[in-house]
Amino acid sequence: MHNISPEEIVETLLMITQQNLDIRTVTLGLSLQSCADPDVEVMARNIYETVTARAEQLVPVCEAVSAEYGIPIVNRRIAVTPIASVAAATSAADLTPLAAALDRAAAEVGVDFVGGFSALVHKGTGDAEARLIDSIPAALATTERVCASVNVASTRSGINMGAVLRMAEVTAETARLTADRDSFGCGKLVVFCNMVEDNPFMAGATHGVGEPDAVVNVGISGPGVVRAVVAALAEDADLTEVAEAIKATAFKITRVGELIARETARRLDVPMGIVDLSLAPTPAEGDSVADIIEAIGVQRCGGPGTTTALALLNDAVKKGGAMGTSSIGGLSGAFIPVSEDAGMVRAVNDGALTLEKLEAMTAVCSVGLDMIVVPGDTPVETLAAIMADAFSIGVINHKTTATRLIPAAGKQVGDVVEYGGLFGSAPVMSVNGWAGSRLIRRGGRFPAPLGSLRN
Amino acid sequence: MHTPAILSVLGEDRVGIVAAIARVLAETDTNIEDIRQTIISGIFSMTMLVTVDEEKTPFDDLQRRLAEVGEEIGTQVTLQREDVFRFMHRI
């Protein structure tokens, strides 16, 4: 049968039906550079018209591809040019009309999130960038589908410490403005170090300035598949065997991503961009990165050995994936969002997983301190210091790190917040009270590290 | 357009499964290239390589008809484009 054995067919069907294999997102990247206009209302109209025209076919095409190939495509999303760079054309102080236009356009074409209410300020904050950042809390509170992100650090330029503190204030303000939804606005806000230009995953997706006018990027999933493969190994299989099994599975998952990316790009008549190899968990039972870590042999995720298991997992996924596609991109590392991963939530509830261990895990995986709920009265200097620690890891180690912290208004350690759907629920985590507030208040720029001088 | 696809059927064994599926394929000008069928612990399992003539029968129409027949005879019938298996298991 074209050399495909019945066993291989059954394996594929089992991966889809029982182990949650799916394509996590097909994200259409769109340039909005041509939408710039001095009048913010005209710009908003241009944005709405551009997005609805270019993305009209995204959902129908994804639905058809998904049905014909029998592979679920969980999310269809849109990423746009960081709005601050388009908004430089206007002097309007309030940029929320642009967020509202994106929100309406996303609803019109049937996508659940649009990313790109964003700014890059890693070396300094421009006027348009400052206005965008000021507009984030209201934009996130008054829209449903818009995601915001800000890049405050890079290996080449160091950390803009003033921007870190400002983003901590913006996070706290967003939490206050969305208090009636357990501060969910912060779930749509990512602060980055070494942001990438082709990330298909929300909430941090943007369409970088180095990209073509439109592009299809695909984010794979598959923690459930990897967990099943590791769990099926012999109890005493050595770590080389574990890595080998993960690698072989990552190859298969990536190939599905490559196929879906090629086919959706062809049907949408836009170039295929990248396949992002991140293992992205969901609250579904077994579809968990924490469960993989535990299947590898850690009693509870967060316990000693966790960083080793995560490093091995992340590296094996990349090695397998690299054989499956020539278009690796985006973040390409395991995600560890606490609220979205039932195993992580269990580990926090058991006292095994703390903020400090998550920071250590950030050093060996993708985006770090993700969907972490902390008490609503956490001081902004403390939030900023937590962010700065994550970004220091990124700056020094030439990698993307990010934070998505939710200081849930009115909540204390021990409370639980429910966001529903893929966002899951999470216990409020305790924060170390000995924060470097004075360090944060010093401001200035954390200089680019020696390792950045590579030319 | 002639599209290769994999048809898989899983369910409790009973009289008429192959006939019911084959009838839909014949009526839609879908050619059967290869069939493998086995019974594992009473569970009927069949995989077919078929070629779908999409000019005569759109892919989603065929999927719908097969799903209807599957429901009538109490089996799970899926039709997927063949590339997904080739991509996943071969370089």
The DSSP string of A422-443 is GG-EEEPPP--S---HHHHHH-
Tokens standing for B9?
A: 């059927």
Residue in B33, B38, B78 nearest the CB of A70: B78
Task: Tell me which of B84, B86, B90, B91 to substitute to probe the interface with A (most A C-beta atoms closer than 10 Å).
Answer: B84
User: Of the candidates A423, A413, A357, A437, which has an alpha carbon nearest to the alpha carbon of residue A390?
Assistant: A357
Residue-wise pLDDT tens digits, B55-75: 999 999 999 999 999 999 999
DSSP state of B30: P
Q: Which chain B residues contact residue A1 at CB under 8 A?
A: 6, 33-34, 36, 47, 49
Q: Which chain A residues contact residue B84 at CB under 8 A?
A: 12, 69-71, 256, 259
pLDDT confidence of residue B42: 75
User: Of the candidates A387, A368, A384, A374, which has an alpha carbon nearest to the alpha carbon of residue A415?
Assistant: A374
Q: How far is A6 from chain B (nearest CA, A)?
A: 7
Q: Which chain B residues contact residue A71 at CB under 8 A?
A: 84
**Integer Cα distance of A116 and A207 in angstroms:** 7
- Neighbouring residues of A49: CB distance < 8 A, sequence distance ≥ 6: none
Tokens standing for A450?
A: 């020696």
Residue-wise pLDDT tens digits, A35-68: 999 999 999 999 999 999 999 999 999 999 999 9
Cβ contact A259–B89 (<8 Å) = no
pLDDT at residue B90 tops 90: no
Q: What is the pTM of this model?
A: 0.94
Cβ contact A2–B60 (<8 Å) = no
Angle ∠(A387,A188,A343) on CA atoms, nearest 5: 75
Q: Which amino acid is at A149?
A: S
Residue-wise pLDDT tens digits, B25-59: 999 999 999 998 888 777 788 999 999 999 999 99
Q: Is the peptide bond before A426 cis (omega within 30 degrees of 0)?
A: no
Residue A220's DSSP bridge partners are A23
User: Of the candidates A190, A243, A115, A221, which has an alpha carbon nearest to the alpha carbon of residue A368?
Assistant: A190
Instruction: Please report which residue ranges of A27-160 form alpha helices under DSSP H.
Output: 40-54, 58-69, 83-87, 96-109, 127-142
Cβ contact B8–A259 (<8 Å) = no
Nearest residue of chain A to residue B47 (CA atoms):
A6
DSSP state of A283: S
DSSP state of A139: H
Q: How far is B32 from chain A (nearest CA, A)?
A: 11
**Integer Cα distance of A177 and A417 in angstroms:** 16
Q: Which chain B residues contact residue A3 at CB under 8 A?
A: 90
Q: Which residues of A touch B (CB under 8 A)?
A: 1-4, 6, 8-10, 12-13, 64, 67-71, 252, 255-256, 258-259, 323
Place of tokens 């997992």: A313
The Cα-based distances of A48 to A51, A52, A177, A365 in angstroms read 5, 6, 25, 36
B85/A contact by beta carbon, under 8 A:
yes
Task: Tell me which of B88, B89, B90 to substitute to probe the interface with A (most A C-beta atoms closer than 10 Å).
Answer: B88
Size of interface A-B (CB pairs under 8 A): 66
* Measured distance between the N- and C-terminal CA atoms of chain A, rounded to whole angstroms: 53
Cβ contact A70–B45 (<8 Å) = no
Tokens standing for A57?
A: 């076919």
Structural domains of chain B, with CATH: 2-89 (3.30.70.260)
Q: Which chain B residues contact residue A10 at CB under 8 A?
A: 8, 45
Task: Please check whether residue A131 is in contact with residue A220, taking contact to mean a CB–CB distance below 8 angstroms.
Answer: no
pLDDT confidence of residue A6: 79
Q: Which chain B residues contact residue A252 at CB under 8 A?
A: 88-89
Can you give the pLDDT of all 455 residues of chain A as single tens digits?
557 787 888 888 888 887 888 899 999 999 999 999 999 999 999 999 999 999 999 999 999 999 999 999 999 999 999 999 999 999 999 999 999 999 999 999 999 999 999 999 999 999 999 999 999 999 999 999 999 999 999 999 999 999 999 999 999 999 999 999 999 999 999 999 999 999 999 999 999 999 999 999 999 988 999 999 999 999 999 999 999 999 999 999 999 999 999 999 999 999 999 999 999 898 888 899 999 999 999 999 999 999 999 999 999 999 999 999 999 999 998 899 999 999 999 999 999 999 999 999 999 997 789 999 999 999 999 999 999 999 999 999 999 999 999 999 999 999 999 998 888 999 999 999 999 999 999 999 999 999 899 88
Q: How far is B49 from chain A (nearest CA, A)?
A: 6
**Integer Cα distance of A275 and A194 in angstroms:** 19
B91/A contact by beta carbon, under 8 A:
yes
Task: Tell me which of A16, A68, A73, A229 to substitute to probe the interface with B (most B C-beta atoms closer than 10 Å).
Answer: A68
Q: How far is B72 from chain A (nearest CA, A)?
A: 21
pLDDT confidence of residue A455: 87
Nearest residue of chain A to residue B38 (CA atoms):
A6
DSSP A204-229: S----TTS-SEEEEEEE--HHHHHHH
Residue in A6, A71, A256 nearest the CB of B36: A6
Three-state SS letters, A63-85: HHHHHHHCCCEEEEEEEECCHHH
Cβ contact B87–A4 (<8 Å) = no
pLDDT confidence of residue A338: 94
The Cα-based distances of B54 to A60, B30, B82 in angstroms read 18, 9, 14
Cβ contact A4–B91 (<8 Å) = no
Q: Which chain A residues contact residue B39 at CB under 8 A?
A: none
Interface of B with A in 25-44 (CB under 8 A): 33-34, 36, 38
Q: How confident is the model at residue B22 (pLDDT cuts 50, 70, 90)?
A: very high
pLDDT confidence of residue A421: 85
Q: Which chain B residues contact residue A322 at CB under 8 A?
A: none
Strand order in B2-12's β-sheet?
A: B31-40, B43-53, B2-12, B75-81
Q: Tell me, what's the ipTM?
A: 0.86
